[in-house]
Structures are given as C-alpha cells and as structure tokens.
Amino acid sequence: MLTKQRKQHILNTLQQQGNVVAKTLSQELGVSEDTIRRDLRELAKAGVLQRVHGGALPASPAVVDLTGRQQLSSDEKALLGKAAATLIEPDQVVFVDGGTSTLQLVRALPADLRATIVTHSPVIAAELISHPAIQVVLIGGQLFKHSGVAVGAAALAAIRSIRADTYFLGVTGIHADYGLSTGDLEEAQIKRALIEQAAETVLMATADKVGKVSPYVIASATAVSQLLVTRSTAPAQYQPLADLGIAVSLCE
C-alpha cells in the first residue's frame, strides 16, 4: 500500500472510530509500527490529528484568529450564549473567558442583571461598557493578539487574587480521556488558573470541539461541572463526558 493510501486509511479509521492505535494499524496494514508512527507524525504536522501515547485522536480544527472565528458556527454560538446567560444569578462574581462563544454570552445578559464580570479579554470588557448594571473587572497583562486576551505573570497574579462563583470557559478541545486543551501554552496556564479560582466551571463548546484534543492540556475533563452543547453535537460525542459525571445541557 502506498503512503498516501495508508494515510487515508488512518484518517478514515479515525473518523469512524474516534481514535487509532499504532499497533492495530500496523497489523491491519502489514507494516511496522515505526512506519505507522512516521505516518502519524506527518499527519499531526499537517494538523489533521493529534498524537497521543500509542496512537492518535482527532485534532481540533485549525485555530484561526478571533476575527475569523466570529464567522464560524455563529448560530450555534448564539444558542450557547443565550443558555449560558441564564445561569448567571444576581450579585454573582463571574469569570468570562475570551472568545466568540463567550462574546455571545455577554450580549445575551439581561439589562437589569446586577453582577460582576471579571475577564482577561478587552473585547468582552468593551462589549459590556454600555450595560447599565454590570460591573466589569478587566484583568491586564501581555496581550495575546491571536485570541485577544491578556496572558503572562501579571494576568496570573491578578486572577489568583479573585474568587468567582462561576467560570464560563472556552477551549479548542475536550476529551473524556485527555481532558481540556487549547492551542497555546500561555492561554492554557490562564485558563487553568481561572478554573482553580472559580467555585464551578461551565464549558461552552461547539460541536467541532467535543471529543477533540489540542497540544496544551488545561485540566482534566472533570474540572468542568457543566457542559453546554447544541443539537449539532452528536450524543456519541458527549456521552463519554456525561459518563464522567459532567452535566450535559442541550441548548436549543
């Protein structure tokens, strides 16, 4: 079998089964495990899968910048935002992540809601300037322009001085075995700190994030107490997470 055919078989198996094991592929295709591992390395470099010990998992889609993400899954994100907004109670202190799904959350907040929103995203903070009752705390630091959020030591120090009731989190991947992940090391550190400082964490995830993995681990999947998804996410994607005890809510 040619290399191109072998790689296509790997991708087809990954799509059908949700994972591939190097040893099994080696036996199926009659080639060495070293050959399979080389194929997996090349496919991972192309961004179409994420290597893990012994095999590979589906990769989260290539991460575009904040402006580009606003055009992706916009209807799905609006549903997630509206559902998330209903979870914020009066007088709560809430962490809101940067991102396009969380932007829909703050846009959906009732005009009479009194609460404190803490965010490391200038975009989120700017969206709330006109809200009559929300107090905004903006975490500063070095601006990571790709995602439009503050990162670095100053941001971490500020986060660790605040305790929140809820953290509304965004990631590029959540997987029952491989946890919460994202595409940038410093973003992973910030998200981990926000999880640690919140009483509970709610994940807003479009279908392309569920069952996927990215290079930088944030925390185990069980760091999330509630997962918000839409009907675009198949039950087979979120059931392994529900089996871990995570409350899965379908937003429609």
- pLDDT at residue 28 above 50? yes
Same domain, 42 and 125: no
Q: What separation in angstroms does the CA of 136 have from each of 95, 128, 139?
A: 10, 7, 10
43-90 per-position pLDDT tens digit: 888 878 888 888 988 877 655 545 544 445 578 999 999 999 999 999
The reported pLDDT for the residue numbered 50 is 84
- The pLDDT score that the predictor gives to residue 216 is 94
Identify the pLDDT of residue 218.
Answer: 98
**Of the residues 11, 36, 58, the one at which a domain ends:** 58
Mean pLDDT in residue range 240-249: 98
DSSP assignment of 55-121 equals EEEEBPPPPP-HHHHTTSSHHHHHHHHHHHHTTPPTT-EEEE-SSHHHHHHHHTS-TT--EEEEES-
Statement to judge: residues 178 and 114 lie in one domain: yes
- Look up residue 19 and give its two tokens: 């994972």
Q: How many domains does the chain have?
A: 2
What does the alpha-carbon distance between residue 100 and residue 108 come to, in Å, rounded to a whole number?
Answer: 13
Q: Which residue range is the domain that position 186 belongs to?
A: 66-251
Q: pTM of the full predicted structure?
A: 0.82
29: CATH = 1.10.10.10
Do 9 and 77 fall into the same domain?
Answer: no
In the predicted model, what is the mean pLDDT of the chain? 92
Query: Which of 23-37, 50-64, 214-228 ranks highest by mean pLDDT?
Result: 214-228
pLDDT score, position 2: 80
178 with 211, same domain: the answer is: yes
Pairwise CA distance, residues 97 & 30, whole Å:
47
* CATH classification at residue 207: 3.40.50.1360
Regarding predicted confidence, which is higher, 60 or 153?
A: 153
Residue 3 pLDDT greater than 70, yes or no? yes
pLDDT, tens digit, for every residue of 164-199? 999 999 999 999 999 999 999 999 999 999 999 999
> Beta strand 115-119 with 134-138: parallel, antiparallel or unpaired?
parallel
